[in-house]
Structure 1
Amino acid sequence: MNMAIANALAFLLYMSSSVILIRRFVQKDQNAVKTSIPLGIMIIMALLFHATDIFFTMKSAGGWNLGLFTTFSLTTWLMAFIALLTGARYPNSHPGIVIYPLVALSLILKVELPSPQPPSLSHPALEWHVLLSLAAYSLFMLAAIQAIILAIQEKHLRQRQAAGLMRKLPPLQSMEAALFQLILTGFALLTLGLITGLMFVDDLFAQHLVHKTSLSLVSWCVFAALLWGRWRYGWRGKTAVKWTLVGFSFLLLAFMGSKFVLEYIVN
């Protein structure tokens, strides 16, 4: 019951925060949207209830529950936390507008689609691999969202339609710099995650890790090429957006695709 209450409260707080942020973004008068509870406190409460839900999920499983939507919930918690920090810098274009509804969706999926046979850690030291990998996934998911917004913003600027809501976004150069900061940090964490994971691989086929490992390595190569192209040739704009979305697509297949097949189709 405690887990269900925490999940429901986190969902309501995330959605309420999203509504407030959307109204603030579309409102011409930035001071027109007033709330009885400060937005920052609402988001912090949502994060706390979300963390409580994760805690009770792990407690009921007797350790790490690595089911698809449980790990997705962990990933979105990290995204929500990063969005909270970023939103303090850009309050008028808070990333939570896009991220918090996604986090709320992850809470629903976790309850409605529990894994029939959630995998657990085969070795306690794999905790570092899980934490590093989830942190990398969360940063790359944020980078993919950032890339889509960047593409829309650049399209409006090219068509000289930068009026209205587009003016409330940070400058294009700041958006692009934030994108590569996310990619660089995510790439470092993904590298460490792959190294720590490969240390415990005995048989890729027997452990059902072929697809996950292969797709993760392909994603690593894509992001490595993007960072090298940025450093060597100054890649930006459409090129950066395309490479980011391609790299994230492979990572999404490695993370969610392989787990979905193993947990919901094979089992």
Structure 2
Amino acid sequence: MMNMANLATLACMLFYLIAVIQLLANLSQSSKTVTDSSSPVPLLGLIGAVMHFIVILIDAKQNQGLSSSFFDALSITAFIVVNMCLIAQTRYPLRILFIPVFLISIICVAMANRVSLHIPIVASSPGMLTHILSSIIAYSLLCIAALQAVALQMIDYSLRERSDSIWLRQLPPLQTIETLLFQFITTGWLILTVALVSGGVYIEDFFSQHLAHKTVLSLLSWLLFGLLLLGRHRYGWRGSLAVKWTLTAFIALVLAYFGTHFVLEIILKRTV
């Protein structure tokens, strides 16, 4: 018989998958759009997110706290991204992003359930808690920005090729996506600044050997995003140039957040 964690995991994956199937069905019908107000996708995603939260809660209860292991951290981040997208889609035309977000979340939840490695997150002070929360929120916002950058590149390419695909018609206008991209980058960059400052203040030996690469890569990502925002403000950077800077900066952030965990836990079978 399945235990509660497995049942919640299965339910979470199922609702995310049904939401993706519904979105793809909408895409195949030219008379409908993914932003159709009668679509059950947001509700399906919300139920999936509730199940996702239950999965995280069960794991935290069983192990006396949240885990920072590779797949657990990915699952928590995916949960935050899903909820940010659910909130943002009520105001902005971002529902098309549910397809990659839900699919990635399915993989993260499944792997976190399968790989039972628990590395407790220790928030020894309010400052450390600020650092941890701001890091997760910043990463989640910039993850959405990276997905928007990919969508922006798809639109730009399709317009250059004079394509009239169903996918292109379902995406928001180029200018809308570009405006939203920089809104998410600006917010994410500001919160990343808080994460780095709080880390520098409250983490001992911020540049010690086991943290040096995380710190350097995070600072590199912060610098790249900052230069992109400066270039946008002063020189009007946009289009493919903005996409390249966004994805490069985000890759640096991914390596900073998950690089060590991946190498040690997945490749070397050790813990951080």
Q: Normalising by the residue count of structure 2, what TM-score does the alignment of the two structures yield? A: 0.89
Aligned pairs (5 A) from 1:123-138: 123-125=124-126, 126-138=128-140
- Contact (CA 8 Å) 1:93, 1:170: kept in 2 or not? no
Aligned pairs (5 A) from 1:87-166: 87-89=89-91, 93-115=95-117, 118-121=119-122, 123-125=124-126, 126-166=128-168
1:119 shift after superposition: 4.3
Q: Aligned partners of 2:123 and 2:95: how far apart in 1? A: 42
Q: Aligned partners of 1:109 and 1:77: how far apart in 2? A: 14
Secondary structure at 2:65 match in 1: coil
Aligned amino acid, residue 119 of structure 2: P
Secondary structure at 2:203 match in 1: coil
Task: Tell which deviates more after alignment, 163-172 or 52-61.
Answer: 163-172
Q: Aligned partners of 1:118 and 1:263: how far apart in 2? A: 11
- Contact (CA 8 Å) 1:86, 1:94: kept in 2 or not? no
Task: Tell which deviates more after alignment, 161-170 or 85-94.
Answer: 85-94
Secondary structure at 1:95 match in 2: helix
1:144 shift after superposition: 1.0
Secondary structure at 1:96 match in 2: helix
Counterpart of 1:54?
56
- Contact (CA 8 Å) 2:19, 2:41: kept in 1 or not? yes
Counterpart of 1:229?
231
Secondary structure at 1:154 match in 2: helix
Q: Deviations over 1:31-63 (max 9, x none)?
A: 8xx9xx933322221111111111111112212
Q: Aligned partners of 2:187 and 2:94: how far apart in 1? A: 25
Task: Tell which deviates more after alignment, 210-219 or 18-27.
Answer: 18-27
Q: Aligned partners of 1:145 and 1:71: how far apart in 2? A: 19
Counterpart of 2:263?
261
Q: Aligned partners of 2:133 and 2:120: how far apart in 1? A: 15
- Contact (CA 8 Å) 1:83, 1:94: kept in 2 or not? no
Q: Deviations over 1:150-177 (max 9, x none)?
A: 1111011012214433122111000100
Equivalences, count: 263
Unaligned runs of 5+ in 1: none
Aligned amino acid, residue 154 of structure 2: I
Q: Aligned partners of 2:225 and 2:4: how far apart in 1? A: 41
1:112 shift after superposition: 2.2
Q: Aligned partners of 1:201 and 1:251: how far apart in 2? A: 19
Task: Tell which deviates more after alignment, 88-97 or 22-31.
Answer: 88-97
- Alpha carbon RMSD of aligned pairs, Å? 2.3
Counterpart of 1:179?
181
Unaligned runs of 5+ in 2: none
Q: Deviations over 1:208-234 (max 9, x none)?
A: 211111100000000000000000101
- Contact (CA 8 Å) 1:7, 1:50: kept in 2 or not? yes
Q: Normalising by the residue count of structure 1, what TM-score does the alignment of the two structures yield? A: 0.90
